[in-house]
C-alpha cells in the first residue's frame, strides 16, 4: 500500500522514537526523519509549531497520508495493520497478548518515569540534583527490567527474540530501553535473556539502522 511518504518527527536519543524507527525498518518502509531537538533552546517539542502536531509535546510523531499519528505503540500497530508483512504481532492470540504485555511493561511502566519532563520536574520542583535524578532513573529501570527478565526466563514462548523467533513489538520496545539502561550505567549482567535478545536484535540490519548513533541528527562522534 502506498499513500504518500512517511515522515517521522524524531530525536536521535528518544527511545519512543527509536521504537518506531525499528518498526519502520522491519517493515522495509522508506521514511524521512524530521529532527526535533529535545534540549536545544529549552526543547523544540515545546514550540508552537510542534504543539500543533502533538499537544503532548512528545516525539515521535509520524506523518502519513495527510494524517498526524501520535503515540509510539499506536503508531507501531498502525504500521503493522498497514503493511502486514513481516508481522510485528504474533498470529496466535496468547502469543500476541504476551508480546503486547512485554512491550507495555516497558512503554507504560518503565519509560514514562524517566522521561525528560519528569527529570525536569524533579530538578525544578523537588530540588533533586543530578545524582538524585540518576539514582531515580536507575531505580525504575532496574526494577522494571528485573521483571522483564523474569517474564523472559524459562518461558517456552521466549525464542531468539522476546516472543518466538522473529522480532515483535516487544523487541521494538526492549532494545531502546536497554539503550537507556546502558546510557545511565545500569549493568545488564543480572539479565542474561535481555542481554542475549538485545544482541540478537542489534545484529540485524534493521535494528542497526534504527540505532541512535546512526541517525542524521546524532552528533558526529
Ligand atoms: N507515550 C509516548 C511517550 C513519548 C515520549 O515520552 N517521548 C519523549 C522522548 S522518549 C519526549 O518527547 N519527551 C519530551 C519531554 O519530556 O519534554 C509514546 O510512546 O509515544
Q: Which of 59, 68, 121, 177 to mutate to test the pocket of ligand 1 (most atoms within 8 A of CB)?
A: 59
Residue nearest atom 13 in ligand 1 by C-alpha distance: 58
| Residue 159 reports pLDDT greater than 80 | yes
Q: How far is the CA of 57 from the centre of ligand 1 (A)?
A: 8
pLDDT computed for residue 3 by the predictor: 66
| Residue 221 reports pLDDT greater than 90 | no
Model confidence over 196-205: pLDDT tens digits?
999 999 999 9
14 C-beta closer than 6 A to ligand 1: yes
Residue nearest atom 11 in ligand 1 by C-alpha distance: 58
| Residue 1 reports pLDDT greater than 70 | no
Cα–Cα separations (whole angstroms), residue 210 to 27, 31, 94, 144, 202: 12, 12, 28, 23, 9
Residue with C-alpha cell 512517511? 6
Atom number of ligand 1 nearest to Cα 115:
16
Collapsed DSSP state (helix, strand, coil) of residue 128 = coil
Mean pLDDT, all residues of the chain: 96
| Residue 66 reports pLDDT greater than 80 | yes
Cα–Cα separations (whole angstroms), residue 36 to 16, 144, 173: 13, 28, 20
54 C-beta closer than 6 A to ligand 1: no
pLDDT computed for residue 4 by the predictor: 74
| Residue 95 reports pLDDT greater than 70 | yes
pLDDT computed for residue 2 by the predictor: 54
| Residue 58 reports pLDDT greater than 90 | yes
| Residue 104 reports pLDDT greater than 60 | yes
**61-64, strands of its sheet edge to edge:** 32-35, 6-10, 61-64, 67-70
| Residue 177 reports pLDDT greater than 80 | yes
Q: How far is the CA of 193 from the centre of ligand 1 (A)?
A: 26
Q: How far is the CA of 74 from the centre of ligand 1 (A)?
A: 13
pLDDT mean over 49-75: 97
Amino acid at each position: 500500500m502506498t499513500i504518500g511518504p512517511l515522515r517521522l518527527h524524531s530525536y536521535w536519543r528518544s527511545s519512543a522514537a527509536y521504537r518506531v524507527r525499528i518498526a519502520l525498518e522491519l517493515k522495509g518502509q522508506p521514511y524521512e526523519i524530521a529532527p526535533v531537538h529535545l534540549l536545544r533552546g529549552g526543547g523544540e517539542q515545546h514550540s508552537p509549531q510542534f504543539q500543533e502536531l502533538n499537544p503532548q509535546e512528545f516525539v515521535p510523531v509520524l506523518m502519513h497520508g495527510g494524517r498526524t499519528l501520535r503515540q509510539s505503540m499506536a503508531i507501531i500497530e498502525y504500521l503493522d495493520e498497514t503493511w502486514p508483512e513481516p508481522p510485528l504481532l504474533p498470529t496466535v492470540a496468547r502469543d500476541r497478548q504476551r508480546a503486547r504485555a512485554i512491550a507495555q511493561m516497558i512503554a507504560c511502566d518503565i519509560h514514562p518515569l524517566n522521561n525528560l519532563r519528569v527529570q525536569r520536574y524533579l530538578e525544578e520542583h523537588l530540588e533533586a540534583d543530578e545524582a538524585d535524578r540518576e539514582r531515580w532513573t536507575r531505580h525504575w529501570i532496574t526494577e522494571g527490567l528485573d521483571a522483564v527478565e523474569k517474564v523472559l526466563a524459562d518461558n517456552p514462548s521466549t525464542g531468539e527474540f522476546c516472543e518466538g523467533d522473529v522480532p515483535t513489538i516487544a523487541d521494538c520496545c526492549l532494545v531502546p530501553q536497554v539503550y537507556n539502561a546502558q546510557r545511565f550505567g545500569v549493568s545488564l549482567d543480572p539479565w542474561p535473556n535481555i542481554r542475549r535478545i538485545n544482541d540478537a536484535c542489534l545484529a540485524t540490519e534493521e535494528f542497526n539502522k534504527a540505532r541512535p548513533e546512526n541517525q542524521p541528527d546524532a552528533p558526529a562522534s
